[in-house]
């Protein structure tokens, strides 16, 4: 099997499994999480029928590199990556809020602004801004973490504290960590000719200490622009050249699919799947500035199981 679409391993000490759109997360002894980044790909809140070779490796290794590159700013959950698609880390109690950082008025923030809003999550915005315009300084626009099948909702700092979702002193520290990690990510992106436009971070608590958890700065959770040509495109009101999985959504729309119930996912041919795989590898190389080294994919589930079992014997 050249991809892994779903997993159902039985690891020593395993308590339960949580399956998200892309990740399968194994609870080990209520102490550790073993996160497998599958080769599933989703668009329009729909998981597409075919896996993308190397996609899980790309996302896992980008996240691991950024976690390592920011560990001096905030403690994070990562302990090891025993397989190219797997991260093992500490089990933390997640905070019920996602921290969204925006350096540019784009995506949902632009749609909200265009509709007439001049505040996002309690943060005032000036009149006369244009799409893809850079904010004077990055802003944090938190969202609640909705239950599966429901959309996250914007929430302000004051609402988070007033409702008791997060104590004020902890929230202030989380904001500080969020901005520090974002600025470091922006510096790394700039070295590779990219702009980190916006992204999301999640935090949890373990033994009274705040940890950065989950993935960070991957093309699935972040938006990147190419720095070259940004100013010219902005001045002319043209779309920005993006580094994301937007090309998958565009292909689906061209083939009559936008996630509606009555619509059928178009056939993903071998050539299209290969094209998506190559684009993900291109994303990796652009974001990290390093050559992508392909793992052996002759039997991905078998490789994952062997590597994880060997690692779990050491902890």
Cα–Cα distance measured from residue 81 to residue 60, given in angstroms and rounded to the nearest whole number:
9
- The residue to which tokens 């990690």 are assigned: 181
Name the range with the highest mean pLDDT among 1-10, 24-33, 143-152. Answer: 24-33
Q: Residue 192 pLDDT > 80, yes or no?
A: yes
Per-residue pLDDT tens over the stretch 69-116: 999 999 999 999 999 999 999 999 999 999 999 999 998 899 999 999
pLDDT at residue 203 in the model: 98
Percent of the chain with pLDDT over 90: 89
pLDDT at residue 110 in the model: 95
pLDDT at residue 146 in the model: 65
pLDDT-derived band of residue 148, with 50, 70 and 90 as boundaries?
low
Per-residue pLDDT tens over the stretch 203-257: 999 999 999 999 999 988 999 999 999 999 999 999 999 888 888 988 999 999 9
Average pLDDT, the chain: 95
- Provide the residue ranges of all domains of the chain, joining segments of one domain with +: 1-315
pLDDT at residue 99 in the model: 98
pLDDT at residue 22 in the model: 93
pLDDT at residue 151 in the model: 60
Percent of the chain with pLDDT over 70: 98
Mean pLDDT of 303-315: 97
Which phi and psi (to 5°) does residue 198 adopt?
-155, 160
pLDDT at residue 150 in the model: 53
CATH code, 1-315: 3.30.470.20
pLDDT at residue 249 in the model: 87
Q: Where are the alpha helices (H) located in the chain, listed in sequence order? A: 55-69, 108-114, 157-162, 168-191, 230-236, 246-254, 270-288, 300-312
Residue 245 CB coordination number (10 Å): 19
Q: Residue 149 pLDDT > 70, yes or no?
A: no
**Angle (deg, nearest 10), helices 55-69 and 168-191:** 110
Q: Which of 123, 154, 122 is nearest to 136 (CA)?
A: 123
Per-residue pLDDT tens over the stretch 24-63: 999 999 999 999 999 999 888 889 999 999 999 999 999 9
């Amino acid at each position: 099997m050249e991809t892994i679409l779903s997993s159902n391993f039985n690891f020593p000490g395993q308590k339960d499994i949580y399956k998200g759109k892309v990740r399968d997360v194994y609870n080990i002894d209520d102490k550790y999480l073993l996160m497998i980044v599958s080769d599933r790909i989703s668009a329009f809140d729909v998981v597409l029928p075919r896996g993308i070779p190397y996609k899980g490796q790309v996302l896992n290794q980008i996240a691991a590199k950024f976690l390592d590159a920011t560990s001096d700013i905030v403690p994070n959950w990562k302990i090891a990556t025993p397989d190219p698609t797997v991260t093992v880390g500490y089990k933390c109690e997640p905070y019920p809020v996602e921290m969204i950082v925006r350096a540019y008025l784009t995506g949902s923030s632009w749609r909200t602004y265009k509709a007439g809003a001049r505040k996002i999550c309690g943060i005032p915005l000036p009149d006369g801004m244009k799409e893809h315009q850079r904010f004077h300084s990055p802003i944090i626009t938190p969202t609640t973490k909705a239950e599966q099948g429901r959309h996250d909702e914007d929430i302000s700092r004051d609402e988070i504290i007033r409702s008791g979702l997060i104590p004020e002193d902890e929230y202030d520290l989380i904001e500080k960590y969020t901005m520090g990690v974002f600025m470091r990510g922006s510096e790394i992106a700039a070295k590779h000719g990219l702009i980190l436009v916006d992204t999301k971070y999640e935090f949890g608590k373990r033994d009274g200490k705040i940890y950065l958890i989950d993935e960070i700065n991957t093309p699935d959770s972040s938006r990147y622009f190419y720095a070259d040509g940004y100013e010219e495109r902005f001045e002319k009101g043209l779309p920005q050249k993006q580094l994301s999985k937007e090309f998958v959504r565009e292909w689906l729309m061209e083939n009559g699919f936008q996630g509606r119930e009555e619509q059928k996912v178009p056939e993903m041919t071998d050539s299209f799947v290969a094209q998506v795989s190559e684009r993900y590898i291109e994303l990796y190389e652009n974001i990290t500035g390093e050559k992508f080294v392909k793992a052996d994919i002759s039997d991905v589930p078998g490789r994952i199981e062997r590597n994880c079992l060997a690692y779990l014997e050491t902890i």
